[in-house]
Structure 1
């Protein structure tokens, strides 16, 4: 839904009285009965009601503010990742030896993870005294022999010199993770893919399968249906990030319900029920549009604004097969045009006069 503060035209630190006054003024201005020529009047009126419903409840308002802050942090983190990916794509890959990732990381850390090979290399390496003795014997030899040996050593060096190549970035990351965690052979899991998916109440009722795109360009279908509501977290095994030599991460999807005719509160659905003054005072029988079709509703006599009528079993489906409720919230309305009799009656009640 749109930012409720923007919908009501109040600041984020506005008090409850200011929010209530702003909603009353906006509801009167955009009510469908006073805007017959505007096809979007109902949408604006419903949007105003949703915004007021969220901001008048301290718990819902606090949760919304927290979610907005978290969403902003996620957007900033995504921007940083995208910038890093663009820089990595634009810059040429560094040239390294064709040693594998484990050898390269061992060289950087100063410790060879292959202990047996390191011991063998250490034993094969000549000691300083042996090197000095060999050097003395070499200097005692003939110059031609030295030149020939030098040529052979140069040739051998050229043959054993590793070719220059590029180590795969994913292999380097995997090696670093294994080095930090202290286990080379153990299979580790790549990071999870965390994302949001936006659905409507109708999508949940129809068991739709919305899609999201992974950074690798893969399309993932998210199952929604029984047990799905606002803020529900769906974990899809091994559908997240891929990193070489690591088990694929999971996809952790948070469900967000888009604004519409209904407001989601757990598995209950809330909807506005506009009622005129005479029907609110005397009571009436009317109908309301539920998620599965029209439903009869009885408005009790002397029903004030924000009073609710609960219709059981007309909400979202739970995992155990039960359904939430449909909650109709009464919105008290004035007539389209001023009524002289009603004005006189209200004046007499306020001033203590009786006709």
Structure 2
């Protein structure tokens, strides 16, 4: 995946508000609901969601800027610090005087193939590393295992967990949160799995995938997938309800009429009564998000929008109206 800053078209110095604004503009432009005839828009929409998932989150953004994760949120491998990663460490005969020892693994467990002082940074902890990483495979006969240099140690000394959970994240659309669906998710283990998204999932909720974590001697951990719901270009979430800012013309507000209103299930008609003021809210029952025992509503707020072009006739009409029938909508504010 491309650099998330390039995907959203923002510099690395952009603040959180600028990043969110850039994402919302692109999401509105490339949302699949508005580009049903363009298959490329869905791929591009997924790309900007992935980019926002990285740099729209403060912790992930810092981790990406430090080079700890890549553009897909996967950890970057930086090697082990103990292997000569600090001044003074090196091969035999180097100024540091340290060298690496060779090890082999066979029926008798781990064996040292060469002598020496060992690599600096290991100290007495190297045997513990071998136990943690290779303990399950290095089991000997009779419940005994061989440790560093062939030294035996008892199986009960291996305090290794049964398995470890891993964490991943996925961003879904508002429609997927409402109706459910499936998504492919990359796990830190390297696997790519298909995750079922249940209808009514809340933002930040986790899905547990049994047995998709890291293995241990007795069991395998789980994968915890945190779900983020991407901002929608039209709807704002308010619990189980959705809010929509609906632009109407001046004559629709004054004279009333039927207007088309988008919902997650398709457009419906809303009857605007005559004399509707800007800011009035209409409730469409059951057009929100699924919730326990019920479904939320769609709250439609009216916003009167004047024509972009300057209209002389409208100016004259308003002057006549102002002089003939003046009124003060702010009189109760004093």
TM-score class, shorter-chain normalisation, is: 0.5 to 0.7
Does 1:257 find its partner at 2:229?
yes
Q: Pairwise mapping of residues 128-143 of structure 1 onto structure 2 (< 5 A)?
A: none
For residue 186 of structure 1, report the CA deviation from its aligned partner. 5.5
- Structure 1 residues 11 and 286, CA, compared in 2 at 3 Å: closer, same or farther? same
Which structure: larger Rg?
1
Q: Provide Cα deviations, 1:260-299, integer angstroms capped at 9, x if missing partner.
A: 4433333223333220122224433323122223323233
2:103 match: 96
Q: Distance in 2 between matches of 1:108 and 1:284?
A: 82
Q: Relative contact order, CA 8 A, sep 6+: which one is greater?
A: 1
- Structure 1 residues 234 and 265, CA, compared in 2 at 3 Å: closer, same or farther? farther
- Structure 1 residues 97 and 276, CA, compared in 2 at 3 Å: closer, same or farther? same
2:46 match: none
Aligned length: 239
Farther-moved stretch of structure 1 (205-214 vs 79-88) = 79-88
1:82 match: 76
SS at match of 2:196: coil
For residue 338 of structure 1, report the CA deviation from its aligned partner. 2.7
TM-score computed with the length of structure 1 as normaliser:
0.51
Q: Provide Cα deviations, 1:231-252, integer angstroms capped at 9, x if missing partner.
A: 3222223323x25437433222
Structure 2 counterpart of 1:324, from 276, 282, 296: 296
Structure 2 counterpart of 1:230, from 199, 203, 220: 203
Is this contact kept in 2: 1:280–1:299, CA < 8 A?
yes
For residue 225 of structure 1, report the CA deviation from its aligned partner. 2.4
Q: Provide Cα deviations, 1:53-73, integer angstroms capped at 9, x if missing partner.
A: xxxxxxxxxxx9x96313314
TM-score computed with the length of structure 2 as normaliser:
0.53
1:60 match: none
For residue 168 of structure 1, report the CA deviation from its aligned partner. 8.6
- Structure 1 residues 94 and 344, CA, compared in 2 at 3 Å: closer, same or farther? farther
Is this contact kept in 1: 2:136–2:217, CA < 8 A?
no
SS at match of 1:203: helix
Does 1:334 find its partner at 2:306?
yes
Does 1:276 find its partner at 2:242?
no
SS at match of 2:203: coil
1:108 match: 124
For residue 83 of structure 1, report the CA deviation from its aligned partner. 3.8
SS at match of 2:181: coil
Does 1:69 find its partner at 2:31?
no
- Structure 1 residues 100 and 353, CA, compared in 2 at 3 Å: closer, same or farther? farther
* Structure 2 alignment gaps of length 5 or more: 35-52, 86-90, 92-99, 113-117, 139-155, 326-334
SS at match of 1:204: helix
Tell me which protein shows more helix as a share of its residues: 1
Q: Pairwise mapping of residues 1-355 of structure 1 onto structure 2 (< 5 A)?
A: 68-75=57-64, 76=66, 77-79=68-70, 81-84=75-78, 95-96=102-103, 108=124, 170-171=133-134, 184=157, 188-240=161-213, 242-245=214-217, 247-258=219-230, 259-318=232-291, 320-347=292-319, 353-354=323-324
